Amino acid sequence: MIQEVLYRLQLRDFEDHSVSGDGVVHVSALVQCSLKWFFVAKYPELARAQQFQGYMILGKLVHLGLQRTVEKFMSEFGFRSVSVEVPLEKRINVDGPADLPTIVTVKGRADILAETLDEEKVIVEIKTARGDYNMPSPHHVMQLRTYMNMANVAKGILLYITPDRIAEYTINNPLSDHELQKLIKEFLQRKAPRYDWECGYCPFNILCPRKKTNSYRR
């Protein structure tokens, strides 16, 4: 069944690059509420259930479609080469309290890593959203800047696909190693939530002691 395959692919994708632990932290976890990822490890059944929502599948299909489109028409986009789903990894020495790990491996996966006709490398990060508001989101910018640091790339493009419009933002300031160290330290110290609005979407807000009361959703 096509439906079953789509859901299984979505679940596999989540498990491949979303769960952190054993000295490994994924970028998707770093830029969000760190307490959420503690709950993912403790209550994986709640995290998996969220992956079966239709908008999650739709987002994955948009990613796949855009990646294939850029590959097929790379010259029209001004690229001489294109790679998709590029694995990124970097080891960071975290100077923190004795009870925290000192060496952390940060992992991520760039949606598109391309080289322009002028031999400039650029990372393209694809995002889907339900509406045209609050773009670009701070955590999306942070994610792209982290990828740029890990890939040693000076230019990034944040591409939003929404029902209202397609929006493109150019980012020219990769995260510094110092900023990445700080981000990891905050994650290890379980800073939660990173943004107040996260609680409204989190499947663990029914049991989280740090839930913020929200009167709206973004």
pLDDT by residue, tens only, the chain of 218 residues: 888 888 888 778 777 765 556 688 899 889 988 888 888 888 877 777 777 777 778 888 899 999 999 999 999 999 999 999 999 999 988 876 656 667 889 999 999 999 999 999 999 999 998 888 889 999 999 999 999 999 999 999 999 999 999 999 999 999 999 999 989 988 888 878 888 888 888 888 888 888 876 544 44
CA 106/CA 201 separation, integer angstroms: 25
Element (H, E) at 25: strand 24-26
Rounded Cα gap, residues 34 and 131, in angstroms? 26
12, two tokens = 């596999």
Instruction: Give the per-residue pLDDT at 21.
Output: 60
Its pTM stands at 0.88
Dihedrals phi, psi of 208, to nearest 5 degrees: -85, 130
The long-range contacts involving 210-215, CB below 8 angstroms and separated by at least 24 positions, are 210/35
